[in-house]
C-alpha cells in the first residue's frame, strides 16, 4: 500500500513538472516581443533622443528584436552618428527596414541602415545619395575663391592648389567614406558600393540593393519581415550571438515621448529663430514698461527655449552676433530715431539670419519667407517710429503745464475751494473757485506749484456745434 502511494506521488510530481515546463515554454514563446521605431522625415536631435529611449526600453523589456522603420531624406550628421552609436551598442538586435513602398533612406538614412544588424527594404523603395552636404557655404553673390596667381596658369591648364572649401569637403567626404566602409565591413555588406554612394551620390532600388549585397532581404510588410528573419543568427554588442525567434513575436510600436516631440518642434530652425526673437522683444517690452509681467515671463521662456534649440543645432556664431547687433540697433532706433541705425540694423539682421545655420541638410534650413516677413516687420516698426517722430515735430510743443491744460480729471474729494483729483493715472492736489462733488469730471485749467487749477467743462451751444 505504501509502495502504491509513493508511486502515485512520484507520478503526480512528474506530471506537474512536465505541465509547468510546457507552460513556461508557452509563456516564453508568447513573450517574444518585436518593438517598432518609426523614423519619418529629417533626422535631427529629436530623432536621436527618440531612438535612444526606444532602445533603452527594448533592453529593459528584453525584446526579441527592434524594427527601425525609416522613411527619411537625411538630416544632421551629429544626430546620425548618435543613432549609429546607440545601434552598435544595443544588446537587442536592430533591424533596419525602409518602408512603406515609396519610402527612401537617403543620405544619413543609408549610414544608419548599414549600421543595423539586419537591413531590409520594402518593394518600391530606394537608398543612397550619401554624399555629405556642404556646410557653411559662401553667401550668394560673394566671391567664393581666391583669385588665380596668373592668367597664364589658367591657359596652361596646370593643377591649382585646392580651394579651402574643396579641402573641407574632401575631408568631410573621406571621413564619411571611412565611416560607411567600417559599418559595411562590420555587417558583411558591400563596402565598395557604400563608398560609391558617398563619393558619387549613387542610389539603388530595393531589388538592386539585394543583388548588390547592400541589404539582407526584401519584405512587403512587417509581418513578412519578421517571418523572414526568424531563425537568423546575429552578433550584438559585446560579441554575444542571438538566435532570432520572431515568427510568433508580438508587435508593439514605440511612440516618442513628450520630450522628443518638444525637441522635434523647437529644433526646427524656423521655430528656434522665431522663439529667440519673441524672447528678445518680450524682454525689451518688459524693460520699457516695468510691471507688465506677461511680456517678461513669455519672453524669458521663449528665449530659453530658443537658445536651447540653437545649442543643439550647428550654428554660425558670427551670424548670431549679427542678428543680436541688428536687434540692438533697431531698439536704439526705436528710442532715438536716426534712420541710419535702423537701416544698419535691418542689414545686419538679414545677413545674420542668412548666415545663422551652417547646414544645408533637408528639413534644417531657415526659410526665406520667415526671414522676409521678420525683416518686413522690422521695416514697418521703423516706419511707424519715423511717422510718430514726424508728427511730433510738426505738432505744437506741449511740456509741463501746457501738457496738463485741457485734460479731464475726476474729483476724489472736495472741501470748499480745494481737494484732490485723479488724472493721467495719478492723484493730484487741486483747487478751484467752484464747489464740486466727488465723482464729478472737471477740466484742468492750469498748474501752479504742483497744484492743479480746475474748473467745470464749458458746455457747447448748438451754434457751436455742440448740445445744450
Each residue of 81-101: pLDDT tens digit? 999 999 999 999 999 999 999
Beta-bridge mates of residue 69: 38, 97
338-347 burial code (b ≥16 CB/10 A, e <16): eeebbebbbe
Measured at the CA of 111, the angle between CA 106 and CA 112, to 5 degrees, comes to 95
Low-confidence winner among 86-95, 221-230, 268-277 (lowest mean pLDDT): 268-277
Instruction: Say yes or no to pLDDT of 151 above 50.
Output: no
The residues, ordered by sequence, that sit 6+ positions from 265 with a Cβ below 8 Å of its Cβ are: 271
The residue among 256, 309, 311 whose CA lies nearest residue 52 is 256
Low-confidence winner among 8-22, 51-65, 331-345, 402-416 (lowest mean pLDDT): 8-22
Who wins on pLDDT, 466 or 221? Answer: 221
Q: What pLDDT shows up at residue 114?
A: 95
Spatial separation of the C-alpha atoms in residues 177 and 57, rounded to whole Å: 32
Amino acid at each position: 500500500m505504501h509502495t502504491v502511494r509513493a508511486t502515485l506521488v512520484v507520478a503526480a510530481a512528474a506530471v506537474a513538472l512536465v505541465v509547468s515546463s510546457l507552460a513556461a515554454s508557452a509563456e516564453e514563446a508568447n513573450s517574444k516581443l518585436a518593438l517598432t521605431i518609426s523614423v519619418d522625415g529629417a533626422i535631427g536631435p529629436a530623432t536621436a533622443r527618440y531612438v535612444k529611449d526606444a532602445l533603452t526600453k527594448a533592453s529593459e523589456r528584453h525584446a526579441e528584436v527592434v524594427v527601425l522603420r525609416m522613411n527619411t531624406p537625411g538630416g544632421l550628421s551629429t544626430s546620425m552618428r548618435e543613432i549609429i552609436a546607440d545601434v552598435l551598442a544595443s544588446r537587442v538586435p536592430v533591424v533596419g527596414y525602409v518602408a512603406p513602398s515609396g519610402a527612401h533612406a537617403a543620405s544619413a538614412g543609408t549610414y544608419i541602415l548599414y549600421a543595423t544588424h539586419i537591413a531590409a527594404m520594402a518593394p518600391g523603395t530606394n537608398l543612397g545619395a550619401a554624399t555629405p552636404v556642404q556646410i557653411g557655404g559662401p553667401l550668394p553673390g560673394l566671391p567664393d575663391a581666391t583669385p588665380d596667381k596668373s592668367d597664364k596658369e589658367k591657359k596652361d591648364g596646370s593643377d591649382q592648389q585646392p580651394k579651402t572649401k574643396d579641402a573641407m569637403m574632401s575631408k568631410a567626404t573621406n571621413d564619411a567614406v571611412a565611416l560607411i566602409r567600417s559599418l559595411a565591413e562590420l555587417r558583411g555588406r558591400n563596402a565598395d558600393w557604400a563608398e560609391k554612394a558617398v563619393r558619387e551620390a549613387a542610389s539603388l532600388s530595393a531589388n538592386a540593393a539585394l543583388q548588390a549585397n547592400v541589404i539582407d532581404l526584401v519584405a512587403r510588410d512587417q509581418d513578412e519581415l519578421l517571418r523572414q528573419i526568424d531563425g537568423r543568427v546575429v552578433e550584438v554588442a559585446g560579441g554575444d550571438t542571438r538566435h532570432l525567434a520572431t515568427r510568433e513575436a508580438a508587435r508593439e510600436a514605440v511612440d516618442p515621448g513628450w520630450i522628443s516631440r518638444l525637441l522635434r518642434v523647437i529644433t526646427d530652425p524656423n521655430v528656434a529663430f522665431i522663439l529667440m526673437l519673441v524672447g528678445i522683444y518680450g524682454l525689451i517690452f518688459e524693460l520699457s514698461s516695468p510691471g507688465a509681467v506677461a511680456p517678461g515671463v513669455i519672453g524669458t521662456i521663449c528665449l530659453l527655449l530658443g537658445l536651447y534649440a540653437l545649442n543643439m543645432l550647428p550654428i554660425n556664431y558670427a551670424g548670431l552676433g549679427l542678428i543680436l547687433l541688428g536687434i540692438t540697433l533697431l531698439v536704439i532706433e526705436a528710442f532715438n530715431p536716426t534712420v541710419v541705425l535702423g537701416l544698419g540694423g535691418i542689414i545686419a539682421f538679414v545677413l545674420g539670419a542668412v548666415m545663422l545655420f551652417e547646414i544645408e541638410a533637408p528639413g534644417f534650413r531657415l526659410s526665406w519667407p520667415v526671414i522676409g516677413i521678420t525683416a518686413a516687420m522690422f521695416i514697418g516698426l521703423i516706419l511707424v517710429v519715423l511717422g510718430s517722430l514726424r508728427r511730433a515735430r510738426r505738432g505744437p510743443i506741449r511740456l509741463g503745464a501746457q501738457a496738463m491744460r485741457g485734460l479731464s480729471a475726476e474729483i476724489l474729494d472736495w472741501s470748499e475751494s480745494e481737494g484732490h483729483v485723479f488724472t493721467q493715472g495719478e492723484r493730484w492736489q487741486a483747487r478751484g473757485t467752484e464747489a464740486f462733488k466727488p465723482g464729478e469730471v472737471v477740466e484742468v485749467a492750469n498748474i501752479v506749484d504742483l497744484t492743479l487749477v480746475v474748473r467745470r467743462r464749458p458746455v457747447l451751444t448748438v451754434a457751436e456745434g455742440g448740445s445744450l
